[in-house]
Amino acid sequence: KQAPTPFERDVFVGWRVTFNDAASTEALLGAIVDPHSKEALYSVEASRRFAQSWKVTLETRVFTGGKPVGSTLPERLAALANPDPDNKNWFITDEDFVQLELAYYF
């Protein structure tokens, strides 16, 4: 409960897949889960070339669990001053993102 990091007893599972094909298809999947508070971070990175000069890449991060703290500065400062051991990832609960990239190489 006094750990200086939010990942004190969490479980990480990851999987990297490379298909070894002409399109260089690959994926990296991962998850960090806190078995006590049920907070989790999921990650997906995948890419594939197509045609001669194109590549598509997907990157995503999703955070689950945790309780919202509030959006005002006093509420956030209070959460930092008095951390809840069952809500250590409150500062990233609203930080999910998905990025899709299409690149052309010449």
What are the average pLDDT values for consecutive 10-residue runs of the chain, which has 106 residues? 72 95 95 88 96 95 82 81 74 85 95
H or E segment and range at residue 80:
helix 73-81
H or E segment and range at residue 47:
strand 40-50
For residue 95, what are its two tokens? 């930080």
Output the pTM of the full model. Answer: 0.76
Residue 100: predicted pLDDT: 97
Distance CA 45, CA 85 (A): 30
Residues in the chain, overall count: 106
Residue 33: predicted pLDDT: 92
Residue 1: predicted pLDDT: 59
